[in-house]
Amino acid sequence: MASHGVARVSGTNPAIRSEELRQKELEQIAAYNNLVDLVNFKVADRQYTVEVLDLTTRLLNENPEYYTIWNHRRRILLDLLLIPSSDDRPSTTLYRRGEELIHDDLQLTFALLRKFPKCYWIWNHRIWILQKGELSFNSASARKLWLGELQLVGKMLHLDSRNFHAWTYRRFVVAQLERMQASVTDTSLESVHSTQSLTESEFAYTTKMIKTNLSNFSAWHNRSKLIPMLLDERSADSAARRELLGDELALICTAINTDPFDQSIWFYHQFLMSTLSPKCASQNMIVRDLSNQDRQRYYAHEMEYIQDILEDETECKWIYEALLHCASCYLEIEGSTQAFTVLDMRGWLRELKRLDPLRRGRWDDLGRSLDIS
Amino acid sequence: MDTLDGTEWDVLIVGTGLPQSLLALALSRSGKKILHIDENGYYGGTEAAFSLQEAEEWEKHIDEDVSAAAFSNISITKSESAVSETTPSLSFSRAYSLALSPQLIYARSTLLQYLVSSKVYRQLEFLAVGSWWVYSAESDNMDNGEPSISSESGPRHGRLLKVPNGREDVFQDQVLDFKAKRALMRFLRFITEYEEQMEMWEDHRTKAFPTFLSEQFKIPITLHAPLLALTLSPSVSSQTTTEYALPRIARHLRSIGLFGAGFGSVIPKWGGMSEITQVACRASAVGGGVYVLGKRLSCIDGPTSADNSEEETSGFRLRLNDGEAISAQHVVGELSRPPISSATCCKSITIVSSPLPPLFPPIAEDAPPPACAVVVFPSGSLPLDADEQAAELPPIYIFIHNSDAGECAAGQSVLYASTTLTGEKGFQLLKKAVRALLLSVDVTPAPNVLWTLQYEQHPRPLISLLALDPDERPLDLLTDLAFDDSVLDHVKGIWQQIMGDSAGDFLVFEDREANQGDDDE
């Protein structure tokens, strides 16, 4: 199954199997089912022991998608983490044993993530483990734990920069790090400074990922999420905000001019356009003091350079869709304009229908809503 | 054995150039009795690599035997400048391993796959080829932000522009305007599946490639040079056809990213293809092949006569240069001797006192550091004389290997230059190009030329099996700057003829037990 043009590399799928191989597989299936039955039985029997934990490890190594087993594992771990030692040893032993269990599960999930980087349950379990770990560690170790996670997710993204699980996880880790710094000392200058730098560095990280591969939906998306925070942390005034907007529009203009066929670029363009709209919520606005005249100027500029591309490229549907969208935004602010006419809009709609006939219904609908059909 | 006289062989291979060595490798597990000889005192033939001393001996020796030689007009120039504490100088002879025929190997080349499947890859190291540059004659008047004051005192020089490797390079380029970017991107999109878009170029097949670019893609003339550079075409741009250019550009772009982000080709370490010839011959020797250097095939006495069988005679009686009479079932070499053919290209090897770091920017994050940079002087960028028609001159290609390649001392680099202009003019053009290159690189202190070797190269016939009634068309193997996979197809054909029905898979071997302990790269 291909995902957005990138082939998915799955396990081997032999079309022709020898009888020997088939027999072997049948044996493997039987063994697996036995293991499943065993685990389910023991858990139902509340045997929350290390032995059963190991059984779940075996099972999960074979099939990490079996989410019930992850639930069982967590039940067992909760129990193991709470058991006091049989003889009255000092609590450090308990602490160390807890540390071991957490460390083991981090290793397990890491190894599994290498093989199955897009399995929700592994990511969830890892988060659960980290949260449990944080509770039992002191704050310095906990912070190290989350910093380690940031490194891990960086590596995962290096292997596959478009893995949205990893991107979501990255945002989660960054949020944890920022939360920890906020709770340590609110007034310490150091923590304020380092909190700021995380957003800046994350923003720079998206720039780097985009420069490596323009088609990175998740990088563009992350960027859009970071911009409001970035502006707040910089205490950006109106001029600074306009500058950032200008820079982002220039960036996306270059990207569109380089590859108008790439969908992720247009998504980011739509995001930027949405921040211009008067309907945009104020916390999402980039520039907060836009006049209608400002808006019109932005829309007109966008439409101008996008129309220029039509000189060389007439087969790209995103261009026509973007023009219609910008035109309708423009018209909402001011009903009439010299920049383009209804005839222009009808022309763009026609091209859209020609290039993307499978979505004809959608384009007819668009025409009706724009009142140009 | 004391003498070869009277020995009988299954296969006699003449010459240890790359095709012959690959054949020897292919036969190394066959159990056949193989005698592999080379008239030189070194391995590699036309792909050999030399230390400084070996190069000097080669210069003296080769003039002795001019007939049908692969090389001619060899001369070495050593730097005359005074050696001081601060001036870097030539290191000892063995610090250098200079390749006579350096080539790029594209990531998709079957050569690499065969080196892996035959298990000899473990003895080889490959390094990444990094940035490609095109020389533009427009002089850069803002060197280091200061306008260059006079063009009388310093020589006029142009600048080197980096060739974009794909969409993201085009995106980040500061020089191209939007229209140019769009045109280039349209072409790049086309080239990824040009085989399925025949209608775009069918009519332009035999026409000049630059014309095709202008007419079909409206690519501005300033962008023709980088695209032509990627073809490594030896011809003048107007003589480079569309059907020649398209597959070569496609090969380049499709190879990028295969071994790592940002690069698409590699070079072998330690001296170009010579390392591969040595590894191949070594593997053949381990398999029982007998190697004798300084041995030449003098003449062919005739076919061996079958004793009593009715089978076709398939062997030959031969004589080697010291009079040894041998027989061999199959004989392989560059056997069809063409008449003394004129040289087809001029080459030079220049050792320079700087690693030229601006030409080796890092390829991409986590990509291996590049050991080779490619600089192309498109036709028309470098006139010989003031009134010369520069556009008629062929392009000049310069491969720069830094010391990571193991071919020169640390802190230095080797410039391998070639052009299809021959004779004295060819040598002049190469000198000019090397000088222009060194001037356009921003390095302090300015790099010096320490040592130069120049030579002309002649076309070689493809290797072939000796036959009683040979096909009288000696095919020429033009010296391509990138390894051509058809060499392997050719070797495979000969191997199949030798092996007959017991052929099996070409160049697919299991590890020998002795190699099990080697570390896997």
Q: What is the pLDDT of residue B514?
A: 59
B57-115, pLDDT tens digit by residue? 999 886 555 555 788 889 999 876 555 556 678 889 999 999 999 999 999 999 999 99
Chain B nearest-CA distance from A116, in A, is 22
Chain A nearest-CA distance from B450, in A, is 39
Looking at this predicted complex, what is its ipTM?
A: 0.73
Residue range(s) in chain B whose domain bears CATH number 1.10.405.10 = 166-255
Residue range(s) in chain B whose domain bears CATH number 3.30.519 = 69-95+126-164+341-458
Neighbours of B303 (CB within 10 A): 15
CB contact under 8 A, A214 and B168: yes
B397-450, pLDDT tens digit by residue? 999 999 999 999 999 999 999 999 999 999 999 999 999 999 999 998 889 999
Minimal Cβ distance to A214: which of B167, B178, B183: B167
Q: How many CA atoms lie within 13 A of A130 on its CB side?
A: 22
Q: What is the pLDDT of residue B413?
A: 96
C-alpha span between A291 and A294 (Å, rounded): 5
Q: What is the pLDDT of residue A133?
A: 81
Q: Using the Cα atoms of residue B164, residue B167, residue B168 and residue B172 in order, give the sign of their dihedral.
A: positive
Kindly report the backbone phi and psi dihedral angles of residue B412, in degrees, each rounded to the nearest multiple of 5, phi listed first.
Answer: -125, 175
First-residue to last-residue Cα distance in chain B: 38
Strand partners, B132: B374
B206-224, pLDDT tens digit by residue? 999 999 999 999 999 889 9
Strand partners, A3: A6
The mean per-residue pLDDT over the stretch B124-147 comes to: 74
Q: Using the Cα atoms of residue A361, residue A362, residue A367 and residue A371 in order, give the sign of their dihedral.
A: positive
Which of B302 and B138 is assigned the larger pLDDT? B302
Provide the 8-state DSSP code for B383: -
CATH number of B69-95+126-164+341-458: 3.30.519
First-residue to last-residue Cα distance in chain A: 38
Which of B150 and A79 is assigned the larger pLDDT? A79
Residue type, A332: E
Chain A nearest-CA distance from B170, in A, is 7
Q: Which fold has domain B8-51+271-338+460-520?
A: FAD/NAD(P)-binding domain (3.50.50)
Q: What is the pLDDT of residue A252?
A: 96
Q: What is the pLDDT of residue B472?
A: 59
Average pLDDT, chain B: 86
Give the chain A residue nearest B182 (alpha carbons): A258
Concatenated DSSP letters of A75-124: HHHHHHHHPPPSS---HHHHHHHHHHHHHHHHHHHHHHHHH-TT-HHHHH
Q: What is the pLDDT of residue B84?
A: 56
Instruction: Compute the CA torsion angle B172, B177, B180, B182 (nearest 10 deg).
Output: 60
B4-62, pLDDT tens digit by residue? 899 999 999 999 999 999 999 999 999 999 999 999 999 999 999 999 999 999 998 86
CATH number of B166-255: 1.10.405.10
Lowest mean pLDDT among A342-356, B43-57, B116-130, B139-153: B139-153
Chain B nearest-CA distance from A257, in A, is 6
Mutate to test the interface with A, among B165, B169, B170, B171 (most CBs of A within 10 A): B171
Residue range(s) in chain B whose domain bears CATH number 3.50.50.60 = 8-51+271-338+460-520
Q: What is the pLDDT of residue B464?
A: 86
Q: What is the pLDDT of residue B79?
A: 79
Strand partners, B372: B129, B401
* pLDDT confidence band for B146 (50 / 70 / 90): very low
Q: What is the pLDDT of residue A9?
A: 47
C-alpha span between B121 and B113 (Å, rounded): 9
Provide the 8-state DSSP code for B163: P
pLDDT by residue for chain A (373 residues), tens only, comes to 344 555 544 444 555 667 888 889 999 999 999 999 999 999 999 888 888 999 999 999 999 999 999 999 999 998 888 765 555 555 566 566 777 888 899 999 999 998 998 899 999 999 999 888 887 777 777 888 888 899 889 888 888 888 888 898 999 898 888 887 766 544 444 444 444 458 999 999 999 999 988 999 999 999 999 999 999 889 989 999 999 999 999 999 999 999 999 999 999 999 999 999 988 888 888 998 888 888 989 999 999 999 999 988 899 999 999 999 999 888 888 766 777 888 899 999 999 999 999 999 999 999 998 888 6
Kindly report the backbone phi and psi dihedral angles of residue B318, in degrees, each rounded to the nearest multiple of 5, phi listed first.
Answer: -135, 165
Residue type, B425: K
Q: Tokens standing for B59?
A: 């210069």
Q: Which residues in chain B are contacts of A312 at CB distance < 8 A?
A: 179, 182-183, 186, 218
Q: What is the pLDDT of residue A16?
A: 61
Q: Tokens standing for B382?
A: 């470098």
Please enumerate in sequence order all residues whose Cβ is within 8 A of that of A354, keeping only pairs 6 or more positions apart, or say none: none
Give the chain B residue nearest A207 (alpha carbons): B172
**Long-range CB pairs of A46-52, under 8 A, 24+ apart, other chains included:** A48/A75, A48/A76, A48/A79, A48/A80, A49/A76, A49/A80, A50/A80, A52/A76
C-alpha span between B71 and B413 (Å, rounded): 24
Q: Does A28 touch chain B (CB under 8 A)?
A: no
H or E stretch covering B373: strand B372-377
Q: Which residues in chain B are contacts of A259 at CB distance < 8 A?
A: 167, 171, 185
CB contact under 8 A, A257 and B172: no
Lowest mean pLDDT among A197-201, B170-174, B187-191, B358-362: A197-201
Q: Does A314 touch chain B (CB under 8 A)?
A: no
B401-433 burial code (b ≥16 CB/10 A, e <16) = bbbbbbbbbeebbbbbbbbbbbeeebbebbbeb
Neighbours of B6 (CB within 10 A): 9
Q: Tokens standing for A266?
A: 């247009």
